[in-house]
Amino acid sequence: MTGSLLSLLTRNHRVVSSNLTLPLQYLFQPVEQVLERVPNAKQLAQIPLLGAAAVPPVSVHVVAKAAVRAATDASVPAGVIDVWDLPKFK
């Protein structure tokens, strides 16, 4: 992978073609904010086939911070961290 392509991917952009990149934060940040305001999003996510649309997108930075904190902080409970619990461990 070339350095310029790697830098584009790590800056929350999706490379569509050699001259087109999509800034993912502009696409998914509004979706994340809307899903945060849906009162029963966690229950909606359990509906087969339709539930995946109710799972909020999460920034890779939030996932990374939660993973580092889970690995280094003994107060973080062991096991799987739910997508809705990730922001608690930033």
For residue 5, is pLDDT > 50?
Answer: no
For residue 42, is pLDDT > 90?
Answer: no
Alpha-carbon gap, residue 40 to 78, rounded angstroms = 26
Where residue 53 falls among pLDDT bands split at 50, 70, 90? confident
Alpha-carbon gap, residue 41 to 45, rounded angstroms = 6
- What pTM does this model have? 0.55
The domain segmentation of the chain, as residue ranges, is 26-89
- Find the mean pLDDT for residues 11-21: 73
For residue 76, is pLDDT > 60?
Answer: yes
For residue 43, is pLDDT > 90?
Answer: no
